[in-house]
Structure 1
Amino acid sequence: MTFKDAASGQGEQGQHDLQRHLTNRHIQLIAIGGAIGTGLFMGSGKTISLAGPSIVLVYAIIGAMVFFVMRAMGELLLSNLRYKSFIDFASDLLGPWAGFFTGWTYWFCWIVTGIADVIAISAYAQFWFPDLPQWAPALACVGLLLGLNLLTVRLFGEIEFWFAMIKIVAIVTLVGTGVAMVAGGFVSPAGRAASLSNLWNDGGLFPHGAMGFFAGFQIAVFAFVGIELVGTTAAEAQDPERTLPRAINSIPVRIIIFYVCALIAIMAVTPWRDVVPGKSPFVELFVLAGLPAAAGVINFVVLTSAASSANGGVFSTSRMLYGLALKGDAPRAFYQLSRASVPSRGLLFSCGCLLLGAFLMWVVPDLVQAFTLVTTVSAILFMFVWSLILLSYIAYRRQRPALHAASKYKMPGGVAMCWACLAFFAGILVLLSLETDTRQALVVTPLWFVLLGVAYRFMLRRQPEGATVVSVPS
């Protein structure tokens, strides 16, 4: 069965084809929302304490590397519009094993990230309801997102549009407030004067030296997970040849505004030594500056950011299960779509897995410790997926030179930049081994790949008839 044949079939619940209901407006805001992760809001407090003002460089460097991964993904997706996501081009260019490992790892990435998000949501909810059980907000969030995503993909796009809009307005307001405080010579009740000199007058840009700078990469990389979410929308995007390049090309501007400028504003108003590692500096900034009422607003913003990330996870995991089932790498049940052309069974299964976050909060009551453990596992798995995207691009350049020559959206730096990014991700893994909390996650994560290897051998033995392949023009 060819990809086209499978997409046109009829099922018990409706068509087996994802519908292109996501407009340019949705795609652009989904891309922005993916670039502003929960790690920026909740994890940046710890990264600032580790790296000091040099954390600005940390986010800029990671952002640059991830941008090249997205450019590679963009050229691959647009080289053949029958590619519905990076599962398809990984399987086509590297082999069936790559599609299997990419799809299931990306599914697991978002399950782990979703658990981190529900942990974050519980932490933010305690800002208003300190006596509320930690599992209650997580349960409510998963139930709400499941109900909304079951209706239609356009509703997902609308939800993500407004979630992203809230984050954009909040960060732009934060930067503007920081600029106003610095320009007006604001002094907090603690006697701290807002000034750009706070970035270098307390130990310089690298107060903890090179090791402190490198330690910042461990947590900061998690802030960028989900930036590739736009790649999973390719099959449901209207006019992908126009919308995907626009979304990817705007990544550098987003990184400068949402990461670099925001962190500079935070550390200009509240010196880096005053940033509490276990709390969101986006909330604490206004508290330390003597504006506690605004802290409630920012807490709402970071809560919606976590909900936005969880929403993206619910969407992408269901689409990954659909794609895997389409290729015979997942149970056939996940191939069924609802009458609204939504992979409802995948949504139900993924949301059930997200509820493990509530169990984790019972096992590890320290939310910061649980968040660090989960986010490190997530970052490792996402880097694996990013690496397979880069390896797919290298194979594409070797196997399909004519398609690359005809491409209107070529990756800058080509193969050489792919190898540079792969070396960078390898370096991040080395850094993760230096700290106890991140080392634990690094030791545990390989068990997932062992499990996948066993599952893949089992799938080969009982390969179903009619497994779908992607045919690519030579």
Structure 2
Amino acid sequence: MSSTTTLQKAGDPTGNSGEGTPSDGLKAGLKNRHLSMIAIGGVIGAGLFVGSGGGIAKAGPAILISYLLVGAMVVFVMRMLGEMAAASPNSGSFSAYADRALGRWAGFSIGWLYWFFWVVVLAVEATAGAKILEGWVPAVPQWGWALIVMLVLTVTNLGSVASYGEFEFWFAGIKVVAIGAFVIVGLLAVFGVLPGSDNPGAGFAHLTDAGGFMPNGWGSILTGVLMVVFSFMGSEIVTLAAGESEDPRRAVTKATNSVIWRIGVFYLGSIFIVLTLLPWNDKSIVDKGSYVAALDSIGIAHAGQIMNVIVLTAVLSCLNSGMYTASRMAFSLGERGDAPKVFAKVNKRGVPMAAILGSVVFGFAAVYFNYSSPDTVFSFLLNSSGAIALFVWLVICLTQLRMRKILVREAPDKLTVKMWLFPYLTWATAAMITFVLAYMVYDKDNRETVMLSLLVAAVVLVIGVVRDLRRKAAARA
């Protein structure tokens, strides 16, 4: 058996060669500019704009260490994933790699958990966007806006993968320009050289002038980690999308190599600006949101409305990517026989319509529960999907440990991207993720989330193992 054929079994059961048109029926409709912006925008979620204020209030300036720790973890995970994706681009990404490296049960379990995570995100983001839109046009009820947003982006995703890529290009572009402008303008204000600014230009004094850099102790850094870790989910989307691009290996390599500066500028850079413009304990950071409070301190008029536009863009971007990601994972699962086979069918435009509609239907149901049963059904959905991001990252670590050996043995020429300090850094990353999960169990505010997520993961895992045992028994019969 040749190395190429074996590698297809090892990480790419669809037979996707990684060059030209995918052989699984999907079309290479994403251009390099689409992939570049998806890679950049993938790490900028609405959670960065909305949730950062709470983390600052808990940890003070030390929240920068929390972001640095989680950012490093994401960089390492993306490097591992980039190694596998560059060698064998696949629409199922880490689920397909886990399928081969760890077993069919692993690919089944993590694939369905990831799908579940994103369809719940659809409801969360649709509701968040609807709240903003209702504030602008109150004549349309919030549920109506949620329905409209979901329908528009569903039609977009059903059109073609190029439609998804074009929408995401502009959504991500607005986010990137907005944060870039925020960092530049903020820096000018920090040093007191911004014309017309109301900010006193205190330099870096605010990092230590309200109780020191670590006002709430070392433990607040870990609390901060728990609060910011979920805002990083989405950085792995580019490895799923690469399978439908013109040059998958180049796109994955470029995205993997640039993840360090993307996290450095967009997360650490922007939060650093907030902390240098205002004392960390300024009440406006929590009341208005960290970015609005920072813009207000500079003296920019209508800061709240400007940020609402940016947050809405981030929400629509997340919704757009959520639909795409969930549908492509469903497509990959269907192709491997782990989901209804109809999910693996594509139309003449190369779009997996059944996979998209199946994902969106669940998303619509979750939106309905968000309004009809917010404290029961939707609360369960939200909490039971909360820790799945960490499960995915942990599985990527374990998969890469096995896949590296397979690649070295069968196709070493495809190792164009390599994980640093292998296997030590891989094990260290896995240990850090495990520690965060354990700390979530210890932390009373996150205990329910991780326990419910573990419960759902256990159910899916049992189903996956039983299916695998039945499949092996049938093969022996």
TM bin, normalised by shorter chain, reads 0.7 to 0.9
* 1:206 is aligned to 2:206: no
| TM alignment of 1:407-426, pairs within 5 A | 407-426=415-434
Amino acid at match of 1:213: I
Which of 155, 164, 174 aligns to 1:147? It is: 155
Q: Is the 8 A contact 1:115 1:374 kept in 2?
A: no
Q: Normalised by the size of structure 1, how large is the TM-score? A: 0.87
- 1:12 aligns with none
Amino acid at match of 1:357: V
Cα distance between partner residues in 2 of 1:158 and 1:178: 30
* 1:121 is aligned to 2:129: yes
* 1:393 is aligned to 2:403: no
Which of 363, 379, 387 aligns to 1:380? It is: 387
| TM alignment of 1:325-340, pairs within 5 A | 325-340=334-349
Cα distance between partner residues in 1 of 2:90 and 2:73: 27
More deviation in 195-204 or 305-314? Answer: 195-204
Q: Is the 8 A contact 2:53 2:285 kept in 1?
A: yes
| TM alignment of 1:235-274, pairs within 5 A | 235-274=243-282
Which of 319, 325, 347 aligns to 1:310? It is: 319
Residues 90-145 of structure 1: per-residue CA shift (max 9 Å, x gap): 11111111110121111112123223322332343355356864333322211111
Amino acid at match of 1:90: A
Identity of matched residues, %: 33
Q: Is the 8 A contact 1:181 1:269 kept in 2?
A: yes
- 1:283 aligns with 292
Question: What's the offset of the Cα at 1:328?
Answer: 0.5
Question: What's the offset of the Cα at 1:462?
Answer: 7.0
* 1:363 is aligned to 2:370: no
Equivalences, count: 455
Cα distance between partner residues in 1 of 2:61 and 2:139: 35
Q: Is the 8 A contact 1:63 1:255 kept in 2?
A: yes
Specify the SS of the correspondent of 1:205.
coil
Specify the SS of the correspondent of 1:259.
helix
Question: What's the offset of the Cα at 1:415?
Answer: 1.2
Q: Is the 8 A contact 2:90 2:242 kept in 1?
A: no
Cα distance between partner residues in 1 of 2:216 and 2:197: 26
Residues 126-172 of structure 1: per-residue CA shift (max 9 Å, x gap): 55356864333322211111010100001111111111100011001
Where in structure 1 do 4 or more consecutive aligned residues deviate above 6 Å?
1-8, 185-189, 373-376
- 1:472 aligns with none
Q: 1:376 to 1:56 in 2, by over 3 A?
A: farther
Q: 1:155 to 1:83 in 2, by over 3 A?
A: closer
Question: What's the offset of the Cα at 1:377?
Answer: 4.9
Residues 261-290 of structure 1: per-residue CA shift (max 9 Å, x gap): 111111222222124436532233334554
- 1:427 aligns with 435
Q: Is the 8 A contact 1:42 1:120 kept in 2?
A: no
Cα distance between partner residues in 1 of 2:462 and 2:428: 31
Question: What's the offset of the Cα at 1:403?
Answer: 4.9
Amino acid at match of 2:181: T
Q: 1:358 to 1:266 in 2, by over 3 A?
A: farther
Question: What's the offset of the Cα at 1:83?
Answer: 7.5
- The root-mean-square deviation of aligned C-alpha atoms, in Å, is 3.1
Cα distance between partner residues in 1 of 2:363 and 2:457: 20
Question: What's the offset of the Cα at 1:454?
Answer: 4.3
Q: Is the 8 A contact 2:91 2:329 kept in 1?
A: no
Which of 317, 330, 333 aligns to 1:321? It is: 330
Q: Normalised by the size of structure 2, how large is the TM-score? A: 0.87
Cα distance between partner residues in 2 of 1:291 and 1:326: 52
Q: Is the 8 A contact 1:124 1:299 kept in 2?
A: yes
> Where in structure 2 are there 5+ consecutive unaligned residues?
17-22
More deviation in 450-459 or 440-449? Answer: 450-459
Q: Is the 8 A contact 1:124 1:303 kept in 2?
A: yes
Amino acid at match of 2:129: I
More deviation in 101-110 or 317-326? Answer: 101-110
Cα distance between partner residues in 2 of 1:37 and 1:175: 17
Cα distance between partner residues in 2 of 1:279 and 1:122: 19
- 2:19 aligns with none
Specify the SS of the correspondent of 1:47.
helix
Specify the SS of the correspondent of 1:273.
coil
- 1:177 aligns with 185
Which of 72, 85, 88 aligns to 1:77? It is: 85
Cα distance between partner residues in 2 of 1:424 and 1:130: 46
Cα distance between partner residues in 1 of 2:132 and 2:90: 41
Specify the SS of the correspondent of 2:419.
coil
Question: What's the offset of the Cα at 1:401?
Answer: 2.9
- 1:470 aligns with none
Specify the SS of the correspondent of 2:57.
helix
